[in-house]
Structure 1
Amino acid sequence: MQSRQPARWGRNLLLLIAAVALGLTAWFWTRMRTDAVARTAYAAQTACLCRFAAGRPLASCQADPAIKQDWVGLHEDTAARTLTASVPLLAEQTSRWSRDAGCVQDVWKD
């Protein structure tokens, strides 16, 4: 029985760590989600203006300190003239360019 005891401690410790991580994620999920929606909306709008209004290449816009944010990725659809910013598993926002209105953000996806 003594040989099984260390294995139980290791397994129980891993289960405890997983439970704490899951609990913290659940506790802060709303705040993380809200923050991600705001960050992606800002990045999509700013990158759209940089790319389509200013005519800069997307790589140049992505390097701009006003747009570059941790965990926010930018994706361009040249044919539709849209820029989408996303944070994996949390949020995605799109801004569309039109000559008449400039960059207009799609309805926020909550």
Structure 2
Amino acid sequence: MAQSTRSRARSAFWWVLLAVLVVLAGLFAVFREPLRGYAGISTAYSARVACSCRFVAGRSLGDCAKDKLAGMELVTLVDDEAARSVTARFPLIASTTATYREGYGCVLETWDS
């Protein structure tokens, strides 16, 4: 009797897990384009601000990360001292690099349409 109850509970768990995955996949399909847009804008903004902070103001990247706006917690920053650039990444969706150019400040890389 206990084995039957346990197997029913295990079966119910897998059905619930499958339903959650289907709902998440549907939400991703519906909101994919807006999410990509917001991620692209977030990484561009973060890369540009962090690059200016790092290579114009001379602050550390850790200190520059504090300048990110609320809601940009998933955006990560990586600097390249040799190239004088900062890359901002939103996991699995977007990545943007800003490079310091003498006389111009920090310039974003060209976006692909």
Q: Indicate the residue corresponding to 2:102 in structure 1.
A: 99
Number of equivalenced pairs: 110
Instruction: Give distance in 2, aligned partners of 1:59 and 1:21.
Output: 33
Q: Is the 8 A contact 1:61 1:67 kept in 2?
A: no
Task: Give the TM-score normalised by the residue count of structure 2.
Answer: 0.84
Q: 1:81 aligns with which of 84, 87, 92?
A: 84
Unaligned runs of 5+ in 2: none
- Find out whether 1:33 has 2:29 as its counterpart: no
Q: How much identity, in percent, do the aligned residues show?
A: 39
Task: Give the TM-score normalised by the residue count of structure 1.
Answer: 0.86
- Find out whether 1:62 has 2:65 as its counterpart: yes
Structure 1 range deviating more: 63-72 or 87-96? 63-72
Residue 25 (structure 1) shift: 1.2
Instruction: Give distance in 2, aligned partners of 1:5 and 1:47.
Output: 53
Unaligned runs of 5+ in 1: none
- Find out whether 1:44 has 2:47 as its counterpart: yes
Higher helix share: 2
Residue 68 (structure 1) shift: 8.3
Instruction: Give distance in 2, aligned partners of 1:108 and 1:22.
Output: 27
